[in-house]
Chain A
Amino acid sequence: MNEVLSTNHSSSLSTMVVSLEGEQLYTFEYAASMTETSITVVQVYVELGVIEPNGIMLHSREITRIAQIQRLRQDLGLNLVGAAIVLDMAQELAQLRARLKAHQSQPTI
């Protein structure tokens, strides 16, 4: 999980980095521009463990998470760790609700 695993050189200058599972990974710089933050902010997020890097790169899921945390901070006035905890709980809740629904929508056993 900890290294960047393979590098594909496409035609010219651009380099695409993918994880072991073949998923595209992104630089902190790219994540910062997508989320309208800064590299420093992304680094702080990594240091505090609210997002998980893949080596020195990020999966798109983590970029989503940065944006979500930013929204929760801005909209609800949560702090960084609070926003991260709330997101984890919301995900768990969504998962449990989906599982409950799957059981309830089953007419027979």
Chain B
Amino acid sequence: MNTATDFKDYYSVLGVSKTATPEEIKRAYRKIARKHHPDLNPGDEEAEAKFKDLNEANEVLSDPEKREKYDRFGQHWNQPNYTQAPSPRETNAGNTGNGFDQYGDFDSFINDLLGRSQRRASSDGFRSQAPAPDTEAAIALTFSEAFHGVQKRLQLDTDTINVRIPAGATTGSRIRLKGKGRPSPFSQERGDLYLTIELLPHSFFHFVGDRFVCNVPIRPDEAVLGAEINVPTPDGSVTMKVPKGLQTGQSLRLRGKGWTLPKGGRGDLFAKLQIVTPQDLNVIEQECYEKIQAKTSFNPRIHLEEIKL
């Protein structure tokens, strides 16, 4: 009786009744296959297992002859003395007998029914010699790791894969690892692993599209008169000339101080300047700003005077 637990109820796998028509079985199969098909759920072992059961159920129940045998077997399997149970079809009973006692368990019955050899039952018979599909994975890197290049360990299911990421990767960069993908459920061969790079946010640098950008604050007097200021770059601080009359939001390009380029060499760094006003003025600053205010001829709102709706 303990083998009775091996019995698979193919009707419940397909979610149909024991009296389902072939059409109903086909519809039920397609509906569930849509959800669990391995080509649509790469790397999902649960879906793969469900799809295997589903296919097995369909293979048996969509074939009238196999379905009939399965029905008889299932009926008898559930009875204590199944070997002696009468066949539901008188005509078949005579020549074949029940004969189910020759099977040690349900699997060997099914393998025999589907014409599969004993131990090869695990892989789905159909299917071609075609190479395995590729596997998608991703890894998140800090700006520093991506800029300098890094050796990383990647966990893919039960495998640990060592991967060297060359300097200059950015968000969306793809690295191909040949033959490191998951085994195909159809052939057990491995496809390639495609690794997509993600960059974790940095407190100072960021990307705007392809541009490697940083925001740099400057004082009003630096913006008005021009100045030399220090700006951080991936290699450390450099001195940058700010031209006089700079507007807030303007960017200055630091040639060759940007991101590592895939072909070698370096891109540019764009420093976006933001004018910030001092909050605590000393006496002299206060005096000077007041003087400017009293004497200035600059009116940035002159073109606003005529505006109304």
Contacts and interface: CB of A to CB of B under 8 A. Distances in A.
A35 B128 contact: yes
A103 B140 CA distance: 6
B138 A34 contact: no
Interface residues of B, number: 32
A71 B42 CA distance: 14
B217 to A, nearest CB: 22
Interface residues of B: mostly helix, strand, loop or mixed?
Answer: loop
Given A76-B33, A106-B200, A94 B131 contact: no
Contacts of B130: 34-35, 63-64, 66-67
Interface residues of A: mostly helix, strand, loop or mixed?
Answer: helix
A90 B55 CA distance: 21
A76 to B, nearest CB: 6
Nearest to B134: A61
Most buried by B among A35, A71, A77, A106: A71
Contacts of B201: 109
Contacts of B55: 75
Categorize the interface residue count of chain A: 20 to 34
Contacts of A87: 39-40
B37 interface: yes
Contact of A77 (B30, B40, B129): B30
18 contacts: A35-B129, A35-B130, A36-B128, A60-B131, A61-B131, A61-B134, A67-B130, A71-B39, A71-B126, A94-B136, A97-B136, A101-B138, A102-B139, A102-B196, A102-B198, A103-B140, A106-B140, A109-B200
Interface of B: 30, 33-34, 37, 39-43, 55, 126-140, 186, 191, 194, 196, 198, 200-201
